[in-house]
Amino acid sequence: MAGPRPVRAPRGNQSSARGWQQEAALRMLQNNLDPEVAEHPDKLVVYGGTGKAARDWDSFDAMVRTLTTLGPDETMLVQSGRPVGVMQTHEWAPRVLIANSNLVGDWATWEEFRRLEALGLTMYGQMTAGSWIYIGTQGILQGTYETFAAVAAKLSRENRHSGGTLAGTITLTAGLGGMGGAQPLAVTMNDGVALCIECDPSRIERRLAHGYLDAQADSLEHALRLATEARDARRPLSVGVLGNAAELVPELLAAGAPIDIVTDQTSAHDPLAYLPLGVDFADMAAYAAEKPADFTVRARESMARHVEAMVGFQDAGAEVFDYGNSIRGEAKLAGYARAFDFPGFVPAYIRPLFSEGKGPFRWAALSGDPKDIAATDRAVLDLFPGNESLARWIRLAGERVQFQGLPARICWLGYGERDRAGERFNDMVASGELAAPLVIGRDHLDCGSVASPYRETEAMRDGSDAIADWPLLNAMVNVASGASWVSLHHGGGVGMGRSLHAGQVTVADGTALAGEKIRRVLTNDPGMGVIRHVDAGYERAEEIAAERGVRVPMRENAESGPA
């Protein structure tokens, strides 16, 4: 069948491909486009407004056809969503190698990307869209949950709020798309109140249907009333309100709204995905397509107003942070001088975790059976009994997270933990405790896989924010270690010219070979985060490397060699 059509990954333990490594890639490609998962599946867009799983439907069909015939010693090469070749390799090599949106430095602009995209030569892969490991909004939920937990801890340490949770606070944010849709649930899981602005009514409806959002207000005044009532009762609540953030955030500031925390996760990384002031949402797509340059100018001017209001809340005493969508950079391009007065979330809250090799570890059940995820949840709790934060997350996720597409789970694990979990999962497949194999991957937003000066590598201690060798090394290490598929992308959630990032997925199919690959990949991949932060001078990373035997040549004694 040519052209757009509903796509859903097969379930069960019967493979249509020549092996589970290939079948896993096939099912995860299809799962990314499941209507439960993707934002605009008919356009092959998974999330972020433009992040695609395949360049076009002909390319999608060719990838599906190739994956079903791919041998156990062959590798399919994917160039920006288009399969361009199959090479004979070996059983330890990845079955798929993916490169998305990569342009030479001087050409890495939105204008040049769009010119090439219009010629059918490239696509925007975002992070987990074009690498076939998006698992719905849960994929960003756990990291968002961790971030808001860190915000609560900071406010408590600074005596700006008590209790160690977000109870009794109101968080103002905007954007309820594939990434931002995690924010309301992450806030309420931390016991707080979230007031969320969104310009697309379908996104509000989707978050309500999936349980990520509790209520929709009739107006901004109604939303603020609901939020303050819940805050005063110390009752978790998330409220969505339809409108343009560039208009409503300044209105709330001018009204003296009692906001404690402010962030944003609109699709600001791409100016054509941000609604300018004075434009109706219904007219947005046509305007962006017909007059992209004019639209971009107006969108950036609107972002500048949005960011100016965020700075205003910070001046008034609120905790304000950028959640990684490049809105500060776009506001600066529009001429707003104070755009970077508030920090990004990684240097503000997450970098200590990165120094320990911690980051988002995710897995999906190819069986389609939620019981497989329940069993792996129990296994994680058994493996790490002393980690109460992890246990709380696993319990809350089991109670409150609705699966989208194939059942999946995510949690943050570090160096020395991911390999243990992966090997346990592989043993569970081998023993028949799980109905079918699992895929194990992560977000590209990880401790050692990305160079992104406006997000993951902002304000590195040694000034190495823009050094892009690290994601390249990460991708090569994962290829050498035996990952099932490996990807290297440009742009991601912050936009063209602003990020390089790598991803890996490894399949637990119950075989001894899979176990060996898992051990290496899930040790070396987070190990990249440890050595990257050792190299940048972070003491905690140096401690972890010394404690856990991570070899760092520049730290070894010339006489004694490795410890």
Residues annotated as part of the active site:
411
Q: Are 484 and 70 in contact (CB under 8 A)?
A: no
Rounded to an integer, what distance in angstroms lies between the CA atom of residue 396 and that of residue 407?
16
CA distance 37 to 177: 11
List b or e across 352-372, with b for residues whose CB sees 16 or more CB atoms inside 10 angstroms: ebbbbbbbbbbbbbbbbbeeb
Give which of 366, 487, 344 is closest to 425, Cα–Cα. Answer: 366
Q: Could you please report the per-residue DSSP string of 338-362?
A: TTTSS-BHIIIIIHHHHHTT-EEEE
For the CA atoms of the chain, what is the radius of gyration?
Answer: 22
Q: How far apart are the first and last CA of the chain?
A: 59
Nearest to 212 by CA among 291, 139, 103, 134: 139
Backbone angles phi, psi at 84, to 5 degrees: -115, -10
100: enclosing H helix or E strand: strand 96-100
Nearest to 429 by CA among 492, 529, 360, 518: 518
Q: Are strands 261-262 and 237-242 parallel, antiparallel or unpaired?
A: unpaired
If you search the block for the tokens 């004075």, which residue do you land on? 278
Are 132 and 44 in contact, with CB atoms under 8 Å apart?
Answer: no
